[in-house]
Structure 1
Amino acid sequence: MDNRDQLETLLDDLMSQLLTTEEASEKWELSQDHIKRLCSSGKIAARKRGKTWFILKDQPSPKQL
């Protein structure tokens, strides 16, 4: 396996642990705008890169908080 393949495997593993706001909205049955507010306020584990929020997949639903 060359470096490019290793990098792609690593990135695939990382991305499988993350959700977009759209995916989180569907999973948690909350509006996408509400998910973005939760991200901005730090109430859910997320990081913003550019205009996109990346949300940690394996965390409790904000409905349970």
Structure 2
Amino acid sequence: MAISAIGMFGCAFLNLMIWAFVTDIIDYHESLTGLREDGTIYSVYSFSRKVGQAVAGGVGVEPSVF
């Protein structure tokens, strides 16, 4: 259980860092362009995450033998 707890702490820390970077990217984009496009940046991030999960799921599937 202790090893699992340490592993989950690492996963939680990684997730926290990713979301912190998303908000930093929104602020950085606003400083470059003068436009605050929260929804666009979040939707691109969400879409790319879903594509990555679909690709990872497809890679892990073994082809069926007939």
Give me the TM-score of the superposition, normalised by structure 2.
Answer: 0.38
Choose between structure 1 and 2: higher helix proportion: 2
> Comparing both chains, which one has the higher relative contact order based on Cα–Cα distances under 8 Å and sequence gaps of 6 or more?
1
Choose between structure 1 and 2: higher strand proportion: 1
Larger radius of gyration: 2
